[in-house]
Protein backbone atom coordinates (compact mmCIF):
# COMPACT_ATOMS: atom_id res chain seq x y z
CA UNK A 1 0.00 0.00 0.00
CA UNK A 2 1.24 3.47 -0.91
CA UNK A 3 2.29 5.58 2.08
CA UNK A 4 2.73 9.35 2.12
CA UNK A 5 5.60 8.99 4.60
CA UNK A 6 7.58 7.25 1.85
CA UNK A 7 7.03 10.28 -0.40
CA UNK A 8 8.51 12.56 2.24
CA UNK A 9 11.66 10.42 2.41
CA UNK A 10 12.10 10.68 -1.36
CA UNK A 11 11.31 14.39 -1.46
CA UNK A 12 13.76 15.17 1.34
CA UNK A 13 16.44 13.19 -0.49
CA UNK A 14 15.83 15.14 -3.70
CA UNK A 15 15.98 18.45 -1.81
CA UNK A 16 19.19 17.47 -0.02
CA UNK A 17 20.75 16.29 -3.29
CA UNK A 18 19.87 19.56 -5.02
CA UNK A 19 21.44 21.63 -2.24
CA UNK A 20 24.73 19.80 -2.65
CA UNK A 21 25.03 22.01 -5.74
CA UNK A 22 22.49 24.76 -5.02
CA UNK A 23 22.44 25.54 -8.74
CA UNK A 24 19.32 25.79 -10.92
CA UNK A 25 21.40 24.41 -13.79
CA UNK A 26 22.54 21.33 -11.88
CA UNK A 27 21.91 18.09 -13.74
CA UNK A 28 19.15 15.81 -12.51
CA UNK A 29 20.55 12.36 -11.74
CA UNK A 30 17.91 9.81 -10.74
CA UNK A 31 18.97 7.34 -8.03
CA UNK A 32 19.48 4.03 -9.82
CA UNK A 33 18.38 1.96 -6.82
CA UNK A 34 14.93 3.63 -6.79
CA UNK A 35 11.93 1.94 -8.36
CA UNK A 36 10.43 3.60 -11.44
CA UNK A 37 7.66 5.11 -9.32
CA UNK A 38 10.13 6.43 -6.75
CA UNK A 39 12.24 7.94 -9.53
CA UNK A 40 9.15 9.76 -10.78
CA UNK A 41 8.52 11.18 -7.30
CA UNK A 42 12.18 12.19 -7.02
CA UNK A 43 12.02 13.92 -10.41
CA UNK A 44 8.81 15.68 -9.41
CA UNK A 45 10.42 17.16 -6.29
CA UNK A 46 13.60 18.07 -8.18
CA UNK A 47 11.51 20.10 -10.63
CA UNK A 48 9.75 21.81 -7.71
CA UNK A 49 13.09 22.54 -6.02
CA UNK A 50 14.62 24.11 -9.10
CA UNK A 51 11.49 26.21 -9.61
CA UNK A 52 11.62 27.33 -5.96
CA UNK A 53 15.05 28.80 -6.57
CA UNK A 54 14.07 30.29 -9.92
CA UNK A 55 11.28 32.11 -8.06
CA UNK A 56 13.94 33.47 -5.67
CA UNK A 57 16.17 34.60 -8.53
CA UNK A 58 13.41 36.42 -10.42
CA UNK A 59 12.79 38.62 -7.36
CA UNK A 60 16.32 40.03 -7.27
CA UNK A 61 15.74 43.82 -7.67
CA UNK A 62 18.91 44.30 -9.74
CA UNK A 63 18.23 41.38 -12.07
CA UNK A 64 18.85 42.51 -15.69
CA UNK A 65 15.77 42.62 -17.91
CA UNK A 66 17.11 39.91 -20.21
CA UNK A 67 17.76 37.60 -17.26
CA UNK A 68 14.31 38.36 -15.85
CA UNK A 69 12.62 37.36 -19.12
CA UNK A 70 14.74 34.22 -19.40
CA UNK A 71 13.96 33.19 -15.82
CA UNK A 72 10.24 33.89 -16.22
CA UNK A 73 10.11 31.66 -19.27
CA UNK A 74 11.99 28.93 -17.42
CA UNK A 75 9.39 29.14 -14.65
CA UNK A 76 6.59 28.82 -17.23
CA UNK A 77 8.23 25.71 -18.68
CA UNK A 78 8.79 24.31 -15.20
CA UNK A 79 5.12 24.84 -14.32
CA UNK A 80 4.14 22.80 -17.36
CA UNK A 81 6.58 20.03 -16.38
CA UNK A 82 5.12 20.08 -12.88
CA UNK A 83 1.57 19.69 -14.22
CA UNK A 84 2.63 16.93 -16.60
CA UNK A 85 4.29 15.05 -13.74
CA UNK A 86 1.18 15.33 -11.57
CA UNK A 87 -1.02 13.98 -14.36
CA UNK A 88 1.46 11.14 -14.94
CA UNK A 89 1.46 10.18 -11.25
CA UNK A 90 -2.34 10.31 -11.13
CA UNK A 91 -2.48 7.96 -14.10
CA UNK A 92 -0.24 5.57 -12.18
CA UNK A 93 -2.74 5.56 -9.31
CA UNK A 94 -5.62 5.05 -11.75
CA UNK A 95 -3.86 2.05 -13.29
CA UNK A 96 -2.97 0.69 -9.85
CA UNK A 97 -6.59 0.63 -8.71
CA UNK A 98 -8.35 0.02 -12.02
CA UNK A 99 -9.71 -3.36 -10.88
CA UNK A 100 -11.23 -2.00 -7.65
CA UNK A 101 -15.02 -2.29 -7.53
CA UNK A 102 -16.36 1.17 -6.79
CA UNK A 103 -19.14 1.20 -4.20
CA UNK A 104 -22.51 2.70 -5.21
CA UNK A 105 -22.17 5.46 -2.63
CA UNK A 106 -18.50 6.21 -3.43
CA UNK A 107 -17.64 9.86 -3.00
CA UNK A 108 -15.50 12.21 -5.08
CA UNK A 109 -12.55 13.93 -3.41
CA UNK A 110 -11.80 17.61 -3.97
CA UNK A 111 -8.31 16.77 -5.24
CA UNK A 112 -6.62 13.75 -6.73
CA UNK A 113 -3.83 11.81 -4.97
CA UNK A 114 -1.15 13.33 -7.19
CA UNK A 115 -2.21 16.90 -6.47
CA UNK A 116 -2.03 16.09 -2.76
CA UNK A 117 1.45 14.69 -3.43
CA UNK A 118 2.29 17.94 -5.22
CA UNK A 119 1.30 19.86 -2.08
CA UNK A 120 3.41 17.49 0.00
CA UNK A 121 6.45 18.16 -2.18
CA UNK A 122 6.04 21.92 -1.79
CA UNK A 123 5.56 21.52 1.96
CA UNK A 124 8.86 19.65 2.19
CA UNK A 125 10.52 22.57 0.42
CA UNK A 126 8.88 25.11 2.73
CA UNK A 127 10.02 23.16 5.79
CA UNK A 128 13.58 22.85 4.49
CA UNK A 129 13.91 26.56 3.79
CA UNK A 130 12.06 27.71 6.90
CA UNK A 131 14.39 25.55 8.97
CA UNK A 132 17.28 27.35 7.26
CA UNK A 133 15.86 30.66 8.45
CA UNK A 134 15.55 29.36 12.00
CA UNK A 135 19.22 28.33 11.94
CA UNK A 136 20.53 31.65 10.62
CA UNK A 137 23.16 33.38 12.75
CA UNK A 138 22.98 36.70 10.91
CA UNK A 139 19.30 37.33 11.71
CA UNK A 140 17.49 39.01 14.57
CA UNK A 141 16.04 37.06 17.48
CA UNK A 142 12.61 38.41 16.57
CA UNK A 143 12.79 37.09 13.02
CA UNK A 144 14.12 33.72 14.16
CA UNK A 145 11.25 33.41 16.64
CA UNK A 146 8.69 34.19 13.92
CA UNK A 147 10.28 31.65 11.61
CA UNK A 148 10.30 29.01 14.34
CA UNK A 149 6.56 29.52 14.82
CA UNK A 150 6.00 29.22 11.07
CA UNK A 151 8.11 26.06 10.99
CA UNK A 152 5.95 24.49 13.69
CA UNK A 153 2.84 25.28 11.66
CA UNK A 154 4.37 23.82 8.49
CA UNK A 155 5.27 20.62 10.32
CA UNK A 156 1.70 20.36 11.59
CA UNK A 157 0.38 20.90 8.06
CA UNK A 158 2.67 18.16 6.81
CA UNK A 159 1.46 15.74 9.46
CA UNK A 160 -2.18 16.50 8.63
CA UNK A 161 -1.58 16.14 4.90
CA UNK A 162 0.16 12.80 5.39
CA UNK A 163 -2.85 11.47 7.33
CA UNK A 164 -5.31 12.82 4.75
CA UNK A 165 -3.39 11.43 1.77
CA UNK A 166 -3.02 8.01 3.35
CA UNK A 167 -6.73 7.97 4.14
CA UNK A 168 -7.58 8.96 0.57
CA UNK A 169 -5.47 6.18 -0.92
CA UNK A 170 -7.01 3.64 1.45
CA UNK A 171 -10.53 4.77 0.51
CA UNK A 172 -9.69 4.49 -3.20
CA UNK A 173 -8.32 0.97 -2.66
CA UNK A 174 -11.57 0.01 -0.92
CA UNK A 175 -13.83 1.56 -3.56
CA UNK A 176 -15.13 4.17 -1.12
CA UNK A 177 -13.70 7.07 -3.17
CA UNK A 178 -13.75 7.26 -6.95
CA UNK A 179 -10.33 7.57 -8.59
CA UNK A 180 -10.65 9.80 -11.63
CA UNK A 181 -7.83 11.50 -13.53
CA UNK A 182 -8.11 15.02 -14.88
CA UNK A 183 -5.97 16.99 -17.28
CA UNK A 184 -5.41 20.64 -16.48
CA UNK A 185 -6.21 21.70 -20.07
CA UNK A 186 -3.81 24.63 -19.87
CA UNK A 187 -4.33 26.71 -22.98
CA UNK A 188 -1.74 29.48 -22.77
CA UNK A 189 1.17 27.08 -23.42
CA UNK A 190 -0.46 25.66 -26.54
CA UNK A 191 0.24 27.72 -29.69
CA UNK A 192 -2.94 26.30 -31.23
CA UNK A 193 -5.14 27.49 -28.32
CA UNK A 194 -3.57 30.75 -27.16
CA UNK A 195 -5.08 33.61 -29.26
CA UNK A 196 -1.91 35.66 -28.80
CA UNK A 197 0.08 32.88 -30.50
CA UNK A 198 -2.24 31.66 -33.25
CA UNK A 199 -3.86 34.96 -34.27
CA UNK A 200 -2.63 36.52 -37.46
CA UNK A 201 -0.57 39.67 -36.80
CA UNK A 202 -2.48 42.87 -37.44
CA UNK A 203 -1.13 44.97 -40.25
Q: Per-residue pLDDT averaged across 41-60, rounded?
A: 98
On the question of pLDDT at 169 being above 80, the answer is yes
Residue 194 lies in a domain: no
Of 6-15, 26-35, 158-167, 186-195, the range with the lowest mean pLDDT is: 186-195
Total domains in the chain come to: 1
* Residues 154/127, Cβ–Cβ less than 8 Å: yes
Cβ neighbourhood burial of 119 (10 Å; 0-12, 13-18, 19+): middle
On the question of pLDDT at 117 being above 90, the answer is yes
On the question of pLDDT at 189 being above 80, the answer is no
**Residue 93: domain span:** 4-187
Q: Per-residue pLDDT averaged across 149-156, rounded?
A: 98
Residue 198 lies in a domain: no
pTM of the shown model? 0.92
Residue 130 lies in a domain: yes
Amino acid sequence: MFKAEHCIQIFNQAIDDYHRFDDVDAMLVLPEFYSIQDQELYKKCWIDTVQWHLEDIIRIPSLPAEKFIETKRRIDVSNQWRTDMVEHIDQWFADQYISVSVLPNARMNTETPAWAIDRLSILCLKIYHMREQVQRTDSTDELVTKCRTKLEILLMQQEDLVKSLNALIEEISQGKTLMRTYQQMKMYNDPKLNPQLYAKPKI
